[in-house]
Amino acid sequence: MNRLYVDSVMKAFDTKQVLTDVYLTCKPGEIVGLLGRNGSGKSTLLKIIFGSLKADQKYIKVDNTQVFKLYDSSKLITYLPQDNFLPGHVRIKTIISAYCNRENAGILNELNQLKPLLNQKARNLSSGEKRFVEILLIIHSDAKYILIDEPFNGVAPLYIDYIKQLIREQAVNKGFIITDHDYRNILDVASKIILLHDGGTREITDREELVRWGYVSGTVNG
């Protein structure tokens, strides 16, 4: 079956059990919004799915292939971490050609927002510009499943709606798992909401459930 399947993920840091029994799935065409309080293990979970962090226990399958470590999923899953990761000594156009196929590289090279940055080295970009480039790269990468950690953090409000639109467009053929503290943007873009609470996952079908689980206080607007 075509899907990213994550089950039985357990992870502890020293004596603190962060993830106890995580289960989630993501199909191509789905945008899964992953919500949770600070320290609930959202980033930890994404790193474990990506393969860059070792779990105490996990069962992850991409389509019909079980994934054990990073190398197994290199062409199937890409991951946008919270912090900037672009190598400062490389020009943006080179970075684009490394990450994207010819078609997607062409799309990015023609974007008005990116054109002034193409010949610049990543170190010369502001944090917001770097974040914007990183998001575009990850969204347009060849991977079938895309994990995005805090995509809207540090991005100019003008670009947030644009990024959400791009995610929706690319989600036709790809599965996305997105987490961000700006939960309104997640609620807006996601087709499925998962809440990480007490180390486990709970699918949220009604926005008021976020209040009941103590993720937000009062009435959820928007």
| Site of interaction with other proteins (CB under 8 A) | 50-52, 69-71, 74-75, 78-79, 81, 83-87, 89-90, 94-95, 97-99, 138, 141, 143
The least CB distance from residue 198 to other proteins, in Å, is 28
DSSP lists the bridge partners of residue 59 as: 7
Separation CA 178–CA 42 (nearest Å)? 10
Residue whose CB is less far from other proteins, 21 or 83: 83
Element (H, E) at 79: strand 77-80
Amino acid at position 48, single letter = I
Residue whose CB is less far from other proteins, 74 or 124: 74
Q: Which tokens is 192 given?
A: 């499925």
The least CB distance from residue 167 to other proteins, in Å, is 17
Nearest 5°: the CA angle 110, 111, 114 is 110
The least CB distance from residue 163 to other proteins, in Å, is 18
The least CB distance from residue 51 to other proteins, in Å, is 8
Residue whose CB is less far from other proteins, 99 or 183: 99
Query: Is the dihedral angle over the CA atoms 201, 43, 39, 60 positive or is it negative?
Result: positive
Amino acid at position 41, single letter = G
**CB 140, CB 104: distance < 8 Å:** yes
| Of the candidates 201, 192, 212, 213, the residue with the CA atom closest to the CA atom of residue 32 | 192
Residue whose CB is less far from other proteins, 141 or 201: 141
Residue whose CB is less far from other proteins, 5 or 79: 79
The least CB distance from residue 210 to other proteins, in Å, is 29
Separation CA 91–CA 86 (nearest Å)? 10
